[in-house]
């Protein structure tokens, strides 16, 4: 059996939307590959870290000079997010060589259904029907999330992949969505808690900016209280 390949839009979605399923696959002895498909640039958190306004999480404005770091460029910000992502995946047990940072917007290109589909095809060409393919739901209210679901649904409907699953983002859980809920075991919960810590780490002098928590700390808190993923099938 081939790998389970998770297409993840942003650094934090692998933990918030898919960690229970990642752990289930690893626990079953499956190879897991995680593909990050955007740079994660363009978040309001970059401005907050550069001293421009406040986040609900931090409460007061940052002062990069006093706190010991230079203002973050777009690339610095993306790199810092990638550190959180790789660190979190390590806590989940995904090996470094199975973490693929392949943003379709790396050179400023568009994130859309077709660019994400082209990226998926790189994996289809290697693993074909032996792999399981995972993406965000094509119902997702976030466009950059939804594109992976739309791309994967097309590949499924074209018969190019046969094993496809779609994650409901936690921010959409209050909406009417299909799917089955998977709850973490206590051992999995412990790993997920450690993965979340990678998004909470604040040590700017050494390049840790707690970007995940500045962005959506309330979602992390709600998730850690009872880690669950919600997953639906194609055309569900």
The residue ranges that bind Zn ion (CB under 5 A) are 9-10, 13
CB of 142 to Zn ion, least distance (A): 6
CB of 101 to Zn ion, least distance (A): 15
Integer Rg of the chain from CA: 17
CB of 9 to Zn ion, least distance (A): 5
User: Which contiguous run of DSSP H or E holds residue 132?
Assistant: strand 132-136
Which residues does residue 203 pair with via DSSP β-bridges, in sequence order? Answer: 208
Scanning 11-52, the segments in alpha helix (DSSP H) are 13-27, 44-49
The residue among 132 and 144 lying less far from Zn ion, judged by its C-beta, is 144
CB of 145 to Zn ion, least distance (A): 6
Question: The sheet that has 32-36: what strands, in order across it?
Answer: 99-101, 32-36, 4-8, 132-136, 164-167, 228-232, 180-183
The residues, ordered by sequence, that sit 6+ positions from 42 with a Cβ below 8 Å of its Cβ are none
CB of 96 to Zn ion, least distance (A): 22
The residue among 80 and 160 lying less far from Zn ion, judged by its C-beta, is 80
The residue among 13 and 172 lying less far from Zn ion, judged by its C-beta, is 13
Taking CB positions, which residue lies at the least distance from Zn ion?
10
CB of 11 to Zn ion, least distance (A): 8
The residue among 14 and 69 lying less far from Zn ion, judged by its C-beta, is 14
- Going 101 to 11 to 76 to 196, the CA torsion angle's sign is negative
Q: Burial of 112 by CB count in 10 Å (0-12 exposed, 13-18 middle, 19+ buried)?
A: middle
The residue among 9 and 179 lying less far from Zn ion, judged by its C-beta, is 9
Furthest C-alpha separation in the chain? 56
The residue among 67 and 74 lying less far from Zn ion, judged by its C-beta, is 74
CA 127 to chain centre: 22
């Amino acid at each position: 059996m081939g790998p389970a390949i998770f297409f993840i839009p942003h650094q934090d979605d692998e933990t918030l939307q898919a960690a229970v399923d990642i752990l289930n696959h690893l626990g079953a002895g499956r190879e897991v590959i995680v593909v990050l498909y955007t740079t994660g640039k363009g978040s309001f958190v970059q401005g907050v870290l550069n001293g421009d306004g406040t986040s609900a999480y931090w409460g007061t404005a940052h002062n990069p000079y006093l706190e010991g770091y230079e203002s973050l460029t777009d690339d610095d910000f993306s790199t810092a997010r990638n550190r959180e992502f790789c660190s979190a995946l390590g806590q989940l047990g995904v090996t470094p060589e199975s973490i693929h940072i392949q943003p379709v917007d790396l050179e400023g290109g568009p994130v859309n259904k077709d660019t994400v589909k082209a990226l998926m095809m790189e994996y289809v060409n290697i693993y074909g029907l032996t792999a399981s393919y995972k993406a965000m739901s094509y119902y997702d209210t976030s466009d950059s999330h939804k594109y992976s679901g739309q791309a994967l649904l097309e590949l499924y409907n074209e018969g190019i992949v046969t094993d496809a699953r779609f994650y409901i983002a936690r921010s959409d859980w209050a909406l009417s969505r299909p799917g089955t809920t998977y709850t973490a075991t206590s051992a999995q919960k412990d790993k997920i808690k450690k993965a979340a810590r990678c998004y909470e780490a604040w040590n700017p002098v050494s390049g840790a900016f707690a970007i995940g928590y500045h962005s959506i700390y309330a979602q992390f808190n709600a998730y850690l209280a009872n880690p669950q993923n919600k997953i639906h099938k194609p055309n569900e």
